[in-house]
Amino acid sequence: MSKRWLAQRERGHRWAYKFMLWVALRMGRKTARILLYPICTYYVLFSWKASRGINTFLSRVLPHRVTLKDLFFHYHAFASTLLDRTFLLGKRQEEFDLNIRDLDLLLDRVDRGQGCLLLGSHLGSFDILRATGLATRNVPIKLLMHKENAPILNDVLGKLDPSMVDCIIPVGEPETMLRAKECLDAGGLVGMLGDRPLKDEKVVLCQFFGHKAQFPSGPMLLASILKVPVVLFFCLYRKDGRYDIYFELFAETVSISRENRAQGLQEWTQRYVDRLETYCRMAPNNWFNFYDFWETDL
């Protein structure tokens, strides 16, 4: 995957985010969802670069030629998850209908005080993790995030729940590894997304929908260093307020030897990519990488 996503300008405006936030919290979900239709129509008509990226992905997943309707519902799924993030941060978990699969495999480790690495992607919503009941276990949860990703949106939504800032560990900083290890040693969970490499991060070439794409080396390197269980987390948006949530044990320990580091990284990353592809096929309109994912900088 190209790293050019880092250079993409955030399309949303602060005033628009604040307006949608006001509508959602003051006038309710139904009114806010009505506004998603003109917003998504605008993006279909005028966000040509993003639409080309969506089209490239959908053409490799869908059994038919990609239509404007497909593009619209792709944008609509993304906008819906952003709207739902508003209700999550506003402590309104009752707004959601969650179908959770295999949460026990994570809770068993949490109850034993065993720290775990939660590995997700830009497929569906990672934020729904807040509504799964993990918070009632009083388990520390930290998220490894790129601090420059959607700064305006994160700033606006962050005011709903200022504690969200304390849950974020910025990636690429000297203390990143230390803070992640401290959380895991305390029996906490560290979440990260495994499908976008950072600017100076080494990449791993993997087969994704039959074509080579670049994936970050960081998640598997981190897992191999920290020696904690890795649990995959995928939350697929289905319709208004309904999500299918999947937890899947990826590995008790990711082991990569120094002698065969490149091969080990490739094999483990490909395993992750294979699982990502499986879930992408389950909900193609949940893939929220709005650029040509197979475009490389090589």
The string of pLDDT tens digits covering residues 207-226 is 999 999 999 999 999 999 99
Would you state the pLDDT for residue 70? 97
Instruction: Give 44: exposed, middle or buried? Use CB within 10 Å, 0-12, 13-18, 19+.
Output: buried
Flag whether pLDDT at 5 surpasses 50: no
Both structure tokens of 276: 């990502």
Question: Is 86 within 8 Å of 157 (Cβ atoms)?
Answer: yes
> Quick one: pLDDT band at residue 127, thresholds 50, 70, 90?
confident
The whole-number average pLDDT for the span 157-161 is 55
> Quick one: pLDDT band at residue 25, thresholds 50, 70, 90?
low
The string of pLDDT tens digits covering residues 32-42 is 888 889 989 99
Distance of CA 247 to the CA centre of its chain: 14
Sign for the pseudo-dihedral over CA of 109, 111, 112, 116: positive
> Quick one: pLDDT band at residue 172, thresholds 50, 70, 90?
confident
Both structure tokens of 209: 């929908």
Angle, in degrees to the nearest 10, between helices 48-59 and 29-46: 90
The whole-number average pLDDT for the span 151-164 is 57
Q: Which residues pair with 249 in a beta bridge?
A: 231
Hey, is 289 helix, strand or coil? coil
- This prediction's pTM: 0.88
Pick the closest to residue 19 from 153, 151, 128 (CA basis): 153
Q: What is the DSSP letter of 149?
A: S
- What residues does each domain of the chain span? 3-286
The whole-number average pLDDT for the span 276-289 is 96
Cα gap 259→47, rounded to integer Å: 46
Instruction: Give 9: exposed, middle or buried? Use CB within 10 Å, 0-12, 13-18, 19+.
Output: exposed
Would you state the pLDDT for residue 239? 87
The string of pLDDT tens digits covering residues 83-123 is 888 877 766 777 788 999 998 999 889 888 899 999 999 99
Would you state the pLDDT for residue 14? 59
Flag whether pLDDT at 166 surpasses 80: no
Kindly state the helix (H) or strand (E) to which residue 74 belongs, with its residue range.
helix 68-89
CA angle (239, 43, 287) in 5-degree steps: 50
Strand order in the sheet with 141-145: 97-101, 242-251, 230-239, 116-120, 189-193, 141-145, 168-170
pLDDT above 70 coverage of the chain, percent: 82
